[in-house]
Amino acid sequence: MTFSELNLIEPLLQALQEEGYTTPTPIQEQAIPPVLNGDDMLGCAQTGTGKTAAFSLPLLQRLHEAGPAHPAKAIRALILTPTRELALQIGDSIKSYGRHTNIKHSVIFGGVGQVPQVQQIRNGVDILVATPGRLLDLMNQGLLSLKHIETFILDEADRMLDMGFIHDVRKVIAQIPAKRQTLLFSATMPQEIQKLSASILRDPVYVEVTPVSSTVEKISQKVYFVEKLEKRALLRHLFQEEGITRALVFSRTKHGADRIAKELSKAGITAQSIHGDKAQSSRVKALTQFKNNELQALVATDIAARGIDVDDLTHVINIDLPNEPETYVHRIGRTGRAGADGMALSFCDDTELPYLRDIERLTKQEIPVEEGQPFHANYSKLPLAGGRTTDKARSASSGGGSSNRSGEAGRSRRGQGGGNRRPNSTQGASQGSSSGGSRRPSGGSRGGNR
């Protein structure tokens, strides 16, 4: 299918052509027609599946076809997102896709002065992209009104929950007209998000693409067993000796991100850190430099990196393994997009072996161990968790033989001798397989609190 087959108007098709996009991703193919039809939607999709275009293209078309706002300068659509970075990226997408329309938009977020943002709103915007804190702040000051909202889009709802914004989200929803189109997108569907969706969606179309267990199939992965104190030395080695030219590096803590970036810079590797304690201006500057290939390494925490979308990113490096396996999938999904090659490298010390086991259980893959590196630590007989142990055949002396799995003893490993293995996959340019088309979930009627 091409975008022209989705009944998009010529101004949008022209913009897409200028951006070099011809083929929609699965979520775009499934979501655009029902959103154009005015349906509510519940979308379950990972970062990088193309969901921003899936909601922004039909939104732009509906507003364009509806004509000028009534009353004049009224905000007609609200897109609520958890982080400044994601808000800015959504704003950039709307600007690109809507360049041949007269639709105006504005992006508001905290951490910067509000005066320019307020002035844009006073001049009139059709679409407002906002983070919850700044939005509520301006609403409480009486500087903007949501009483004319026709479309409400809640993006990355699970991250809103993780960051403690769910109560703010409910406050915002209480100020929006009950008669509206509502789209909710979330990478995962914890119980709280299910309750929220049931309360705000009416007979929604349900779209799910790229199940979490399959998002990593097209990405080559390796794990490095290394002592905790030698992780930064190993990272320097990868940049200096292994030919890595650009990588998004994940650290578990803000302090760790700063320290890693500082040590890389001292070693002559251009690097910056990005996390919640950084000033907004420095975060935007670092991300822009990274996108423009002016940095070799962008060191980020999970929350700061949420929504980062960088073209042609070849490497993601987990200097710390996350304690939630879903987070691992989110992290490495930022590479290997649109059919490009992607490599995810993860450092694992002895305390992180249980995290590795959980990741392999979720992704249903064994991640090969890179033993041919100067900081290799032999963890072949250490417990994973609960008395389970790694298979002794994984030791460096195993000669690369295949080992058998032993019941629930975690994923048994194979000594890969540092091979650069790509798991079997036939996925092409689209971001994963779709779940068989959009559909309405059973019992999809709207709960009373609209």
Per-residue pLDDT of the chain (450 residues; tens, 9 = 90+): 889 899 999 999 999 998 878 889 889 999 999 999 999 999 988 766 788 999 999 999 999 999 988 888 999 999 999 988 889 889 999 999 999 999 999 999 998 899 999 999 999 999 999 999 999 999 999 999 999 999 999 999 988 988 889 999 999 999 999 999 999 999 888 888 999 999 999 999 999 875 544 556 678 999 999 999 999 999 999 999 888 888 999 998 899 999 999 999 999 999 999 987 887 788 888 988 998 889 999 999 876 665 566 777 889 999 999 887 878 887 888 886 655 668 999 999 999 999 999 888 888 888 999 999 999 998 866 654 333 344 433 333 333 333 332 222 233 233 333 333 222 332 333 333 333 445 454 333 333 333
- Residues of the chain within CATH 3.40.50.300 domain(s) are 3-208, 220-398
Please state the separation of Cα 181 from the chain's center in Å. Answer: 24
- Read off the DSSP letter of residue 156: S
Question: Domain 3-208: what homologous superfamily?
Answer: P-loop containing nucleotide triphosphate hydrolases (3.40.50.300)
CB atoms within 10 A of CB 227: 15
Burial of 320 (0-12, 13-18, 19+ CB in 10 A): buried
Judge whether 370 and 263 are in contact, CB under 8 Å: no
CATH number of 220-398: 3.40.50.300
Q: Say which residues have a Cβ less than 8 Å from residue 262's Cβ, sequence separation at least 6.
A: none
CA distance 175 to 181: 14
Angle made by CA atoms 306, 310, 313, in degrees to the nearest 5: 115
Helix axis angle for 26-36 and 51-66, nearest 10°, is 20
E strand spans, 292-417: 297-300, 315-318, 343-348
